[in-house]
Amino acid sequence: MSRKERLEVVYASNDGYARHLAASMCSLFDRNRDFPEIRVFVLSMGLSEAGRNGLKEIADRYGRILELVDMDDLESRFSHPVDLGGYDVSIMLRLFMGEMLPASVERVLYLDCDTIVLQSLKGLWSRELGDCILGAVMEPTIYPAVRRSIDLGPEDAYYNSGVLLVNLARWRAEGVQETLLDFWKSKGGKLFASDQDVLNGGLKGRVCSLPPKYNFFTNYRYFSYRALTKYGPAYRAVTAEEFARAKRHPVIVHYMGDERPWIAGNLNHYRRAYEMYLAQTPWAGTKKEPGKRLYMLAYHGLDYVTAVCPAIRWELSCRMGMKFVETRKKG
């Protein structure tokens, strides 16, 4: 079977995100029936027996291959202290994909658990990366302070790590895992977006830009193309037409930000895609997380403010973003 016919996908998850992973995996299988073979690897940390069984049930239903790769010893793999700003250490799992996946896997598509696949991935899977290590979608609204912290200039592209098309053979051959861990250590083991910042800083110049439809951040529905190119000049490499198509017909939606579809009271425009696929998993009927209805209403109001005056959101985000890290640490 040729490389193009076999789709190799990797996720990373702890038990708390198992239901979101299940919804994502269900959408992946449903929208990619045209692939003769799909193999999914899950780099797992603390995944319960119920979680494992639920994921296996979905893979079996679609006749796909699921391989669980336990990494409960993740913390012992770091040679230096790490400060994740309140995030669970499992967010670092993806940095070890080259070491943990079989040597026969030379190319892989990494997906965050909070993604839903809405169209076939054949176009993405067949993209060539040239001399790049991986392909990713730009995130132009990252804060200037974050750029500076990882040695990126205002004109440099910053990429979101929620969807990564990875040349895993080159990753291994060039010792990327060690490069990334060394970069993180050089920054004191503490960065705003942890593994995402490590990937951007450690692989500067080695990332190919993918069209935004392959990782469409749901809150970007409210940003104009003009605003995004203002905040991230490198985003001019994306055409206005590409951005408009991504809004209307995303291939992969990414529930990045606070307006998550599993929180009660959320008004995320793309929430029904998540709800539809969650309903097809063993986690169907799981109640949404309570306690944030007023915040969800305010957040959605900010979405519409963004559409009218993106500078207001930009200013609020830049002022509050770094403070949010401190809040997570105290929590």
CATH number at residue 77: 3.90.550.10
The total of structural domains in the chain comes to: 1
Residue 295: per-residue pLDDT:
94
Q: What is the pLDDT of residues 195-214, one digit of tens each?
A: 899 999 999 999 999 999 99
Q: What is the pLDDT of residues 50-103, one digit of tens each?
A: 999 999 999 999 999 999 999 866 666 665 556 555 555 566 788 999 999 999
CA distance 324 to 320: 6
Q: Residue for token digits 């809150």?
A: 219
Using CA atoms, how far residue 254 sits from 67, 114, 218, in Å, is 23, 6, 6
pTM reported for the whole predicted model: 0.93
Look up residue 308 and give its two tokens: 């009218």
Q: What is the pLDDT of residues 273-290, one digit of tens each?
A: 999 999 999 999 999 999
Q: What is the pLDDT of residues 109-158, one digit of tens each?
A: 999 999 999 999 999 999 999 999 999 999 999 999 899 999 999 999 99
Range of the domain at 61: 3-330
Look up residue 165 and give its two tokens: 């098309």
Q: Are 14 and 21 in contact (CB under 8 A)?
A: no
Residue 30: per-residue pLDDT:
98
Residue 316: per-residue pLDDT:
83
- Given a cut of 50, whether residue 330 has pLDDT beyond it is no
Helix (H), strand (E), coil (C) string for the chain: CCHHHEEEEEEEEEHHHHHHHHHHHHHHHHHCCCCCEEEEEEEEECCCHHHHHHHHHHHHHHCCEEEEEECCCHHHHCCCCCECCCCCHHHHHHHHHHHHCCCCCCEEEEECCCEEECCCCHHHHCCCCCCCCEEEEECCCCCHHHHHHCCCCCCCCCEEEEEEEEEHHHHHHCCHHHHHHHHHHHCCCECCCCHHHHHHHHCCCCEEECCHHHCEEHHHHHCCHHHHHHHCHHHHHCCHHHHHHHHHCCCEEECCCCCCCCECCCCCCCHHHHHHHHCCCCCCCCCCECCCHHHHHHHHHHHHHHHHCHHHHHHHHHHHHHHHHHHHHHC
Look up residue 53 and give its two tokens: 């069984």
Mean pLDDT of the chain: 91
Residue 328: per-residue pLDDT:
44
Chain centroid, CA 192 distance in Å: 15
The residue that leads in pLDDT, 3 or 46, is 46
Look up residue 42 and give its two tokens: 């899950």
CB-count burial class (<10 Å; 0-12, 13-18, 19+) for 62: middle
Residue 217: per-residue pLDDT:
97
